[in-house]
Amino acid sequence: MSGSGNGSGICPRRSVSISDIGADIAAAARAGSIDDTVDYKQVSRRIAAHVQEEKYELIEALAEGVAALIIGEFGAPWVRVSAEKPRAVKNTGSVGVVIERSR
């Protein structure tokens, strides 16, 4: 899942991805129902909206904001978030951070 921002924001070229979301998936595995697990489509849409709405000066703050969103709004016990800014430093593809947060 990822989102990106471009245009007039403070951090206009950035991307964020969620590599892991902690969840108890036992009920979903038994029932085969999306209602019993994380709705990744909903999470992805919410991340994309958040990235467009917020203006972060640092990718570190972006990663923290997305982690707080996932834990707070979706009840995840933990999450791992990556955020990067392409071409932020000359002669590099991108610079970035990876954070892990829990309740």
Amino acid at the residue 11: C
What domains does the chain contain, in order, with CATH numbers?
2-102 (3.30.1130.10)
pLDDT at 37: 85
Strand order in the sheet with 94-102: 2-5, 14-21, 78-86, 94-102
Quick check: helix, strand or coil at residue 36?
helix
- 1 pLDDT tier (thresholds 50, 70, 90): low
* CA gap 48, 100 in Å, rounded: 19
In this predicted structure, the answer to whether residue 11 has a pLDDT above a threshold of 80 is no
* CA gap 80, 59 in Å, rounded: 14
Q: Give the tokens for residue 46.
A: 């919410």
